[in-house]
Amino acid sequence: MSLREGDGMTARRDGTRPQDLFDRGHPFQPKAKSSAPRQPGSWLVTIRSVPFHHDEIKQAIESTGDARVYFSETLAYLKGQAVSLFRIEATGLQWVDTLWRWWQTLQRRSTIPFDIAVYINNTELLARFSETTPEQIKTLIRERAPRYQPFATLES
């Protein structure tokens, strides 16, 4: 091993220094922000369920094209309970039927039952899949879920 002149850092056998492993010469470029709703008039709901099925739940929600998960957390702890969170903007409600069918199928196959809860305003319980039908959930969303309204622009 040898020292590079002037910096006092030991070079590795391949000639790189430890700090070179993280600084590739490219400035950090953050991704476009996607953790906010974008579609004016869309219903805003939050889903909570078990962390184990995070990816499948997200796929079922987005599979119909009328809902988008704009924020999800694979593992969050709320009041001591481990949950997955999904914040959803929906222009239609077909995703409820798709998610319900997936949940029903898994309930029949699995030995460990789990529930999916629908919230509005992130904290107000609207419905639980285990206690309501898809039609009831869709009616509750239509009647009670807030709609996304982007900030009004000021006219000069």
Q: Distance between CA atoms of 72 and 84, rounded to whole angstroms? A: 7
Confidence tier at 18 by pLDDT (50, 70, 90): low
Confidence tier at 13 by pLDDT (50, 70, 90): low
**Amino acid at position 5, single letter:** E
Topology, domain 43-144: Alpha-Beta Plaits (3.30.70)
Question: Edge-to-edge strand order for the sheet containing 67-78?
Answer: 67-78, 81-90, 43-49, 117-120, 124-128
- Percent of the chain having pLDDT more than 70? 75
Domain coordinates in residue numbering, the chain: 43-144
- Tens digit of each residue's pLDDT (9 = 90 or more) over 24-77: 566 655 555 568 888 999 999 999 999 999 999 999 999 999 999 999 999 999
Per-residue pLDDT at 19 exceeds 70: no
| Residue 151 pLDDT | 77
